[in-house]
Amino acid sequence: MCRNQRILFSGVLLALVFLFVLYHIKYDSWSKTSLQILSFSKATSCNSEPETQSHPKPNIGPFPSENSLSCTCQKTEPANRFVSKDELEDLQKRRAEEYRQHQIRMGKQNDVLVLAPPNTPLQYPIKGFRVTPLNKTLIPGLALQTQNRTIYKVSLRVKKGLLSVMNVKEDEIVLGQNEGFLTISSDSLEQINKLLSRVTYTSTIYHIKTEDLAYLSFENHEVIFPIEIRRLSVPILYNPGKDINSQVTILVKAFLRYEELKVLIQSVRVNYPSIKIIVADDSLNPEKVVGDNIEHYIMPPAQGWFAGRNLAVSQVTTKYFLWVDDDFLFLNETRIERFLEIMEANPELDVVGGEVDGNHFSFKLQYDEGNSEEGGCITRIRGTHTPLPGFNGCFYTDGVVNFFLGRTDAVRKVGFDPFLKRVAHTEFFIDGLGDLLVVTCSGLKIGHQKRKNTGNYNSYRHPGQNDGHMKTSHHFFKNHLKCIKY
């Protein structure tokens, strides 16, 4: 054998060895992945057919979405540092249990990723199939598209419900009627598609917000699609009436500053003489607040900022409310109609913020849920997200200044945590993150009265370091946070 032939032979041999090693690396990796996927999708029904190694299931899920990674808040101490060492262990156990129950309430166990395979003869609803609990419902879109076979056999299995085919005739082969595992067979593709068009699902559990997964199989093909189980909710509508007075209520939380409150009310009445004003007042020695269409609610002394907000919002009967502080001042250019124009044009919005003496104070919240043991990390950053289409100067954001128009029913669902008595604002938007759609807009202006020496007010307004530590400890448990940075 000549030298060139020996070199060529050696090269071919090395290439074959390389391909052999590469094949086994990929095969081992694929096998491990396949085994993992199979463990997710095994049937729970005693009627289900065993899975065989000759036809491994495709890598389509479901994959659990649990996040096992920790998170960080730069230059901020962990929230558990502010919890008493004697209480920390017990508090963490209670927090872990409450978080577990929260995950169940929110349906996190159903939060899985399902991928559609690249090629399958099965047609199925990949998203949007919804049923009411315990009610029989036709499954839309089931069909088989394939070449000629001697026999066609399709199987469907679920975990939280029963399957059936409506109006089965004597010559139609259906096994597993009113069970969790259904098999349909036919020697006609047309007939099996007619049977698939009559397949129904009935949930066997009562739950107002959960999900089932359906596994549809034909030969060595299997697909997974979700079935949403939901109770229909009743809409809550507000009669808008014919003017601004039937659409918006002005809310104020008052504490000690009665002189400023009177100035605010007088400024409101210049352009809005009949609009309702609700005052929640936890002053130490309450004074009367009188005037047309004013509701003055006197609270126990020093109950706090958020307790007053909750009281005020609870009494609103209009679709929207406008939040103002007791030392604000309506200007000639303070027009509630501008807020309404934006909100009514964008029904998905929940909060529209303006500016106080030119101060927008809009901010974003960066949130990483972290892992189940340590909790999440949240950081407040000044700024906005993207512009609101069609409205110059309006931007999506996560939090706004204390001058905002709120959608009453949306804000009520989030609420204001009455534990936070003195210094609180961002915390409402933290609780509403992911539930409230917020924008901030330039040109929506209100004034601020000159600050005065109000005696006891400042001692309540600036409570000291211990109050901040108590807040952080509170968020450690309540919001399942590892750290929070303002």
Mark 301-323 as b/e (b = at least 16 C-beta within 10 Å): eebbbbbbbbbbbeebebbbbbb
Which domain range does residue 119 map to? 112-230
The CATH number covering residue 334 comes to 3.90.550.10
Same domain, 327 and 286: yes
Main-chain phi, psi angles of 144, to 5 degrees: -125, 130
Determine, yes or no, domain membership for 72.
no
Q: Is 370 exposed, middle or buried (0-12, 13-18, 19+ CB in 10 A)?
A: buried
The CATH number covering residue 123 comes to 2.60.40
pTM for this entry: 0.79
Yes or no: say if 330 and 268 are a contact pair by the CB < 8 Å rule.
Answer: yes
The predicted pLDDT at position 15 comes to: 61
Q: How crowded is residue 183: how many other Cβ atoms within 10 Å of its Cβ?
A: 18
Same domain, 210 and 279: no
The torsion defined by the Cα of 465, 471, 472 and 476, in degrees rounded to 10, comes to: 160
Same domain, 226 and 249: no
Which segment of 205-209, 333-337, 421-425, 427-431 scores lowest on mean pLDDT?
A: 421-425
Determine, yes or no, domain membership for 195.
yes
Mean pLDDT value across the chain: 86
Higher per-residue pLDDT: 103 or 93: 93
- The answer for residues whose C-beta is within 8 angstroms of residue 344's C-beta and 6 or more apart is none
Same domain, 172 and 268: no
Determine, yes or no, domain membership for 32.
no
- The answer for residues whose C-beta is within 8 angstroms of residue 483's C-beta and 6 or more apart is 72, 73, 76, 77, 78, 79, 377, 378
pLDDT at 217 over 80: yes
Determine, yes or no, domain membership for 225.
yes
Write the pLDDT tens digit of every residue in 34-82. Answer: 323 223 333 333 333 444 444 455 566 777 766 678 888 888 889 998 9
330, 305, 336: which is closest to 318 by C-alpha?
336
* Domain-ending residue, one of 230, 256, 287: 230
* Domain-ending residue, one of 230, 257, 285: 230
Same domain, 129 and 215: yes
Q: How crowded is residue 294: how many other Cβ atoms within 10 Å of its Cβ?
A: 16
Main-chain phi, psi angles of 278, to 5 degrees: -110, 125
Residue 169 pLDDT grade (very low, low, confident, very high; cuts 50, 70, 90): very high
- Work out the average pLDDT over 133-153: 95
Determine, yes or no, domain membership for 67.
no
Determine, yes or no, domain membership for 273.
yes
360, 357, 324: which is closest to 248 by C-alpha?
324
Q: How far apart are the first and last CA of the chain?
A: 78
The predicted pLDDT at position 28 comes to: 41
Q: How many domains, in total, are found in the chain?
A: 2
pLDDT at 182 over 80: yes
Same domain, 299 and 388: yes
The predicted pLDDT at position 65 comes to: 65
Same domain, 328 and 430: yes
Write the pLDDT tens digit of every residue in 316-326. Answer: 999 999 999 99
Mark 236-275 as b/e (b = at least 16 C-beta within 10 Å): eeeeeeeebebbbbbbbbbbbbbebbebbbebbbebbeeb
* Domain-ending residue, one of 173, 196, 230: 230
Same domain, 190 and 270: no
Determine, yes or no, domain membership for 345.
yes
- The answer for residues whose C-beta is within 8 angstroms of residue 14's C-beta and 6 or more apart is none
Same domain, 298 and 224: no
Determine, yes or no, domain membership for 54.
no
Q: Are strands 152-157 and 209-218 parallel, antiparallel or unpaired?
A: antiparallel
Same domain, 277 and 225: no
Same domain, 402 and 256: yes
- Work out the average pLDDT over 6-29: 53
Write the pLDDT tens digit of every residue in 284-328. Answer: 999 999 999 999 999 999 898 899 999 999 999 999 999 999 999
Higher per-residue pLDDT: 409 or 14: 409
Give the rounded percent of residues in the chain with a pLDDT score beyond 70. Answer: 84
Same domain, 158 and 249: no
